[in-house]
Amino acid sequence: MAGAASAGTCRALVRPLLLDAQPAPEDLQRAQALCRAEAEAGDAEAIYQLSFFALGLGGNWQPEEAIPLIRSAADRGVTEAQYWLAWQSESGPELPHDPAIALGWYE
């Protein structure tokens, strides 16, 4: 994680954690704190990355907290967040099935 930490961005800290089956608690805490600070400063990508902590990263499964973060990031132009909303609206379990909304996000 040292290389990622030197990059200094939320995304650089979160992405390796997503690939780690058992990330260290201190790495999770450091990444979440950085993401929260960057999100509070208005960074749309950090808002999206912060949603991963509510979608199970670190053992916390609270999609009702993640979805508003993802919507906020999508509204600010984060493509991955837009795709997630489209996919969930089309066929995912976290949002009501709505093909029209899905199509809107896919476009």
Domains of the chain and CATH, by start: 2-106 (1.25.40.10)
pLDDT of residue 67: 96
pLDDT of residue 6: 34
pLDDT of residue 92: 85
4 Cα distance to chain centroid = 17
Low-confidence ranges of the chain (pLDDT < 70): 1-8
Residues with Cβ < 8 Å from 33, sequence gap 6 or more?
A: none
CA distance 37 to 89: 29
**Cβ(74)–Cβ(105) below 8 Å:** yes
pLDDT of residue 59: 86
pLDDT of residue 60: 84
Cβ burial of 71 (10 Å; 0-12, 13-18, 19+) is middle
pLDDT of residue 31: 93
